[in-house]
Chain A
Amino acid sequence: MSLLDMIGPVMIGPSSSHTAGACRLGLVAHHLLGEAPRRAVIGLHASFAKTGRGHGTHLALVAGLLGFSPDDPRLPHAFEEAEAAGLKVEFRDVDLGDVHPNTAHIELHGDTQAVTVQGSSTGGGVILVTHVQGLGVNFSGASPTVLLRYTDAVGMIARIASTIAADGVNIATLTCTRENRGGQALLAVELDAPLSPQALAFLGHWPDTNWVRMLPKLMDG
């Protein structure tokens, strides 16, 4: 967390946790989908469910799904913008268990792709993404983050790390979870700078890689 996260973000009100943070959670799904969003099912947990409507949480989540940042003046009109963009959204109140009270579960579909993202808005517009495609992760969007879903195999992390190093980019944090040995694995790598399109394409062309996405830095600081 930087000084600019404490005095900031510059945002459309009324709530940094329920509006700006919600918008950023939507933005994560927007970037991870990688194509125009068509249909979303958004589960709202605890405080998001109870006080979200009054805070514009619903508008902010939809604004994020459309790719708007938290200071975008179109945010209060996100429902009209979604309709114009051909995005249909359904909201549900859900109990996600023992998670932060401001947590959303987003299922986002495009014409050919789909992504699920679960994350919490922990205050001041800061978010923590806890699940992507159903697997556990732990990243904040404060740095460019590369996400890979692949079939678990010996040496995958080493190959990914050396590709990133060859691109001249430093790794800040790395989390990896897998369903089971030899099953689906998800790696989230927070970076000091975005990867080049070439490096990203290289990672994506391996036979074991099922899915790769580059999430840009979402925070100002």
Chain B
Amino acid sequence: MTTLQDLMNAPAPASAWVLAQDCAETGLDPQDIRAEMLRRIREMRASIERGLKTDAKSITGMVGWNAKGLWEAPDVLGAPLIKRVQAYAMAVNEENARMGRIVAAPTAGSAGTIPGALIGVADHLGLPDERLVDPMILAAGVGKAISKRMFISGAAGGCQAEIGSSAAMAAAAVTELLGGTPRACVHAASLALMNTIGLVCDPVGGYVEVPCVSRNAFFAVHAVSAAQLALAQLESFIPPDEVVTAMAQVGRLMPAELRETAEGGLAQTPTGLAVTARMEGREDAGGMIELPMV
């Protein structure tokens, strides 16, 4: 597959076209890919389940208890879907921060967005994991189309390239799960991506914890919103491939300090610097800043 435009013009369902294209390219058996995707969906679910049960802290002590806390908190907004999607996403990323087993989708720092959005929506609607295989294949196809134009790591393109890509992939997947056309799926991806352009990668202390864990929760909901807009026929005004090109251009323009070097943004706040110093065991750790205890 080469472009999102090709995917948009493919016969429905978009996932079937993605799978056929990929198998033609790699020589892999479509049934093997579908079986492996189901296995990975179950790995994602296992990481969600582990993450919702534990409040064990990460290496730094900055995260670890938020998914469980949210999951057990009352649903004050009367929005159970949102709470579920957010808790699932954070559960995966807190597992990730604990050096637990997760499925990178497309990266580990953004691993919660797709399971949060897709498994979250499926559980909300009572759909079995088998129904998620095709949407997951579409998510992968969208990611592949994006990665043809730019690197998907925060270090290369900022967080827009990483969680922006995962949100775009998740938006397409949720749209297909809910019966969207290939056109709607790709516009959902494009809308999600358009709204992440310029997002910097500024992990505190260089750890995939703050703001990464909560960012996955936000972007899982973001992906569901994009699917909702696209299913209501709303389209990305800028053609999807042009959005990817714009995102790539912004990534290249972004200074290195804002691309996962921990030299800018939240990582350079007094608290961010204090965490860095503490983790490096330096004398100036803490200072006047009240830090969460490890």
Contact = CB atoms under 8 A, between A and B. Distances in A.
A177 to B, nearest CB: 24
Interface size, A (range): 35 or more
Contacts of A73: 101
Contact of A50 (B26, B137, B263, B279): B263
B176 interface: no
Given A55-B206, A221-B28, A124 B106 contact: yes
Interface stretch (B36-44, B177-185, B217-225): B36-44
Interface in A34-62: 46-47, 50-56
B40 A8 contact: yes
Interface stretch (B66-74, B139-147, B230-238, B241-249): B139-147
| Interface residues on chain B, size class | 35 or more
B207 A76 contact: no
Contacts of A221: 26, 28
A6 B139 contact: yes
B193 interface: no
A4 B143 CA distance: 11
A172 to B, nearest CB: 10
B79 interface: no
A192 B108 CA distance: 28
Nearest to A50: B261
Interface string B102-137: 111111110100100000000000000000000011
Given A11-B104, A123-B152, A1 B207 contact: no
Interface string B139-181: 1110110010001111110000110000001000000000000
B261 A51 contact: yes
A125 B143 CA distance: 14
Interface of A: 1-17, 19-20, 46-47, 50-56, 71, 73, 75-76, 100-102, 121-125, 192, 220-221
Interface of B: 18-19, 22, 25-28, 33, 36-37, 40, 43, 59-60, 95-109, 111, 114, 136-137, 139-141, 143-144, 147, 151-156, 161-162, 169, 203, 205-209, 256, 259-263, 279
